[in-house]
């Protein structure tokens, strides 16, 4: 099988599964059977992706079919573009989707069969959309899948739609990402107006030949970047991601950690040759990324909800990736995307296992879980160490590469922000580890380790995280960045400092957390209220949008409806008046005949 067929198979299997689940209700209502079908489909996709990754030729493979017929050739095409970037992403998406779907069988065992079937139908659709996004060969197709992914995110966040918070969070996620997507579609259309094609390969060719008109290109690329800002939760559109934690935890792991939020980073990586033409936009991406990383890290410090801590750490790590991309280290950013996808999925699924066992999200209600669920504790620790960037975990190498790339890119201030973030990341993640798994008070209830269907994916991810890191260490850092020698030492030192500090604060109680909060009081208060960004958006929404809506509503109710009512009232009145001339008496009708006769005579006379 050649690469194109494999890619199409990987794309088609989840789609078939979705269609089957969508149009055959008995199958969907069967619950676990639906799950098995969906898992089998994504398993097939994973297999195809792996084979594809092994056998991928050097140059990229592109298959296209014409679409949107127009004069002088089709206006757009549909197709797939497989290169190393897409293939790596394909494997990551298929792998995480597969493991998460498997894990969900255990996590959602108490759901009713119809709900479970619905869940797996959404999952299949999501897998199809995400794989389609990865394989898209042009902007238009990418946008379509991009929106489909957003739709799936909406559906899955709102999976427990009877919970008001979940419904609100789903709507919020949808709206906020749509705000970015608006820029994305405008950018695509403007780019088409400039270049005349949606095709990536054509655009890259033009960029390489320097035939792409550069006038206005910065604006276009900025607009396209806006789409990535929304999807990858960059400041100031990051507000939806923490709320998205209202969905089931496996959904958070899949969509809001490993795959969908990475779509923005993937988009920038995908069209990196175009971004290279606009250094100003790239610098902006770098600054925004670093700022987002630092901001989210400070927010992560004060969260009590284990999933929210992870959500802010996701935002923070996405900031890392974007900063690397902005600094010109595209490979480092994408590398971090892949490693982060693995260990963040691991962390979320581990957190899911904890929540499943304890029945709450609040870390202060957990404690000493190491004794009750040692397996979970170990894999969670693996993920945390990877996230903190400790040698020899995979996260160490990618974070190192990002930092080196940013330093090399000459973005000194963002580099300092990121370095601070490394310290904060280690601190807040180990805060969670110490409070949840060690701590002083035992957790309520009788938590126990999770069943194999859930622990299996956890172990696979943990082994991959560690194994990948060890293989990188053993190969002498082939993919290592070429930054100064001191950067790995600095990063490791900061991470270890963060861990030690967390140990002192939350395990030994040598440093009082309250005293810390007092010392950094303004920052603490600001972080607790999410830097008032949600309030700002809420105010804007209430003040401007609702005001405008009320105005429109008033116009509709009184002006438009008034005109309609007036017209209908006149019609009624005239009709009522005209009805009276229909007396039913033949003689009255004869008057009409007489008048007609008169008219005929007069008319013939004057003619």
Partner 1 sequence: MGLQPYLILAACLFTIGLFGVLTRRNAIGILLGIELMLNAVNVNLVAFARFTGETAGLIFALFTISITVAEVALGLAIVILIFRVRRTVEADNLDLLKG
Partner 2 sequence: MSLEAAGFWGLALVLLASSLAVVLSKNLFHSVLYLAVALVATAGVFLLLQAEFLAAVQVLLYAGGVVTIVVFAIVVTERLVGERLAQTNRGVFTGGLVSLAVLVWIVVFIAGAKLPAAAPPLTGDLTQAIGRDLLTRFVLPFELLAVLFLAGLLGALFFARKEE
> Which residue ranges make up the site for partner 2 (CB under 8 A)?
591, 594-595, 597-598, 601-602, 604-605
Rounded to whole angstroms, the Cα distance separating 34 from 282 reads 44
Q: Dihedral of CA 98/100/103/104: which sign? A: negative
State the nearest-atom distance from the C-beta of 567 to partner 1, in Å. 23
Question: Do residues 386 and 343 touch, judged by C-beta distance below 8 A?
Answer: yes
Partner from partner 1, partner 2, none binding residue 574, C-beta < 5-8 Å depending on class: none
Task: Identify which of 436, 446, 452, 316 has the alpha carbon closest to the alpha carbon of residue 380.
Answer: 436
Neighbours of 438 (CB within 10 A): 17
Select 548 or 595, whichever has its Cβ closest to partner 1. 595
Contacting positions for partner 1 (CB under 8 A): 579, 582-587, 589-591, 594
Question: Do residues 499 and 488 touch, judged by C-beta distance below 8 A?
Answer: no
Neighbours of 50 (CB within 10 A): 17
State the nearest-atom distance from the C-beta of 566 to partner 1, in Å. 26
Dmax (CA) of the chain: 117
Partner from partner 1, partner 2, none binding residue 211, C-beta < 5-8 Å depending on class: none
Select 489 or 589, whichever has its Cβ closest to partner 1. 589
Select 545 or 600, whichever has its Cβ closest to partner 2. 600
Partner from partner 2, partner 1, none binding residue 589, C-beta < 5-8 Å depending on class: partner 1
Structure tokens at 307: 């999933």
Backbone angles phi, psi at 159, to 5 degrees: -60, -45
Select 486 or 595, whichever has its Cβ closest to partner 2. 595
State the nearest-atom distance from the C-beta of 570 to partner 1, in Å. 20
Beta strands in 237-368 (DSSP E): none
Q: Which of left, alpha, beta for 313 (phi over 0: left; psi -120 to 50: alpha)?
A: alpha
State the nearest-atom distance from the C-beta of 590 to partner 2, in Å. 9
Partner from partner 1, partner 2, none binding residue 595, C-beta < 5-8 Å depending on class: partner 2
* Helix, strand, coil share of the chain (percent; to 5): 80, 5, 20
Rounded to whole angstroms, the Cα distance separating 66 from 198 reads 12
State the nearest-atom distance from the C-beta of 595 to partner 2, in Å. 7
Query: Tokens 């009276």 label which residue?
Result: 580
Select 553 or 592, whichever has its Cβ closest to partner 2. 592
Partner from partner 2, partner 1, none binding residue 586, C-beta < 5-8 Å depending on class: partner 1
Peptide bond into 236 cis (omega under 30): yes
Partner from partner 1, partner 2, none binding residue 584, C-beta < 5-8 Å depending on class: partner 1
Backbone angles phi, psi at 70, to 5 degrees: -145, 170
Select 504 or 594, whichever has its Cβ closest to partner 2. 594
Partner from partner 2, partner 1, none binding residue 585, C-beta < 5-8 Å depending on class: partner 1
Select 512 or 583, whichever has its Cβ closest to partner 2. 583
Partner from partner 1, partner 2, none binding residue 582, C-beta < 5-8 Å depending on class: partner 1
Select 474 or 586, whichever has its Cβ closest to partner 2. 586
CA distances from 412 to 281, 322, 405, 407 (A): 17, 15, 11, 6
């Amino acid at each position: 099988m050649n690469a194109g067929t494999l890619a199409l198979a990987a794309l088609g299997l989840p789609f078939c599964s979705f269609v089957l689940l969508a149009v055959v209700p008995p199958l969907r209502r069967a619950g676990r059977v639906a799950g098995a079908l969906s898992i089998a489909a994504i398993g097939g996709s994973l297999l195809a992706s792996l084979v594809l990754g092994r056998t991928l030729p050097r140059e990229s493979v592109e298959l296209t079919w014409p679409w949107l017929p127009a004069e002088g050739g089709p206006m757009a095409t549909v197709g797939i573009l497989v290169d190393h970037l897409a293939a790596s992403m394909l494997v990551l998406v298929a792998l995480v989707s597969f493991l998460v779907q498997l894990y969900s069988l255990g996590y959602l065992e108490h759901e009713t069969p119809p709900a479970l079937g619905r869940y797996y139908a959404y999952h299949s659709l999501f897998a199809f959309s995400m794989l389609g996004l990865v394989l898209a060969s042009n902007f238009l197709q990418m946008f379509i899948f991009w929106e489909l992914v957003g739709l799936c995110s909406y559906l899955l966040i709102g999976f427990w739609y009877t919970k008001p918070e979940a419904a609100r969070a789903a709507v919020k996620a949808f709206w906020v990402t749509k705000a970015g997507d608006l820029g994305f579609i405008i950018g695509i259309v403007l780019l088409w107006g400039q270049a005349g094609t949606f095709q990536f390969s054509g655009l890259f060719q033009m960029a390489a030949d320097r035939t792409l008109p550069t006038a206005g290109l910065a604006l276009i690329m900025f607009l396209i970047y806006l789409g990535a800002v929304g999807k990858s939760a960059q400041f100031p559109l990051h507000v939806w991601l923490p709320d998205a934690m209202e969905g089931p935890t496996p959904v958070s792991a899949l969509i809001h950690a490993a795959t969908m939020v990475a779509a923005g980073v993937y988009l920038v990586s995908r069209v990196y040759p175009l971004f290279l033409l606009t250094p100003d936009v790239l610098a902006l991406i770098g600054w925004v990324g670093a700022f987002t990383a630092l901001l989210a890290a400070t927010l992560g410090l004060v969260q009590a909800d284990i999933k929210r801590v992870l959500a802010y750490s996701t935002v923070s790590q996405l900031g890392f990736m974007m900063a690397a991309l902005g600094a010109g280290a595209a490979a480092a950013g994408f590398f971090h995307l892949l490693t982060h996808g693995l260990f963040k999925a691991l962390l979320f699924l581990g957190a899911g296992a904890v929540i499943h066992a304890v029945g709450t999200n609040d870390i202060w209600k957990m404690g000493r879980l190491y004794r009750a669920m040692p397996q979970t504790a170990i894999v969670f620790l693996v993920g945390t160490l990877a996230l903190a960037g400790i040698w020899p975990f995979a996260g160490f190498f990618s974070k190192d590469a990002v930092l080196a790339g940013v330093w090399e890119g000459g973005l000194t201030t963002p580099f300092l922000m990121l370095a601070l973030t490394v310290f904060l990341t280690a601190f807040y993640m180990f805060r969670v580890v110490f409070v949840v798994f060690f701590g002083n008070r035992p957790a309520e209830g009788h938590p126990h380790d999770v069943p194999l269907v859930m622990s299996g994916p956890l172990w696979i991810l943990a082994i991959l995280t560690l194994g990948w890191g060890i293989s990188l260490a053993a190969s002498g850092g082939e993919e290592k960045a070429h930054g100064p020698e001191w950067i790995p030492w600095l990063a490791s030192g900061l991470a270890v400092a963060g861990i030690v500090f967390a140990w002192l604060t939350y395990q030994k109680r040598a440093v009082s957390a309250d005293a810390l909060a007092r010392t950094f009081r303004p920052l603490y208060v600001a972080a607790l209220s999410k830097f008032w960004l949600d309030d700002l958006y809420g105010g804007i929404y209430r003040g401007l949008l609702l005001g405008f809506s009320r105005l429109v509503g008033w116009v509709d109710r009184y002006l438009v409806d008034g005109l309609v009512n007036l017209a209908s009232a006149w019609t009624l009145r005239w009709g009522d008046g005209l009805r009276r001339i229909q007396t039913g008496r033949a003689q009255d009708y004869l008057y009409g005949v007489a008048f007609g006769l008169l008219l005929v005579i007069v008319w013939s006379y004057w003619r």
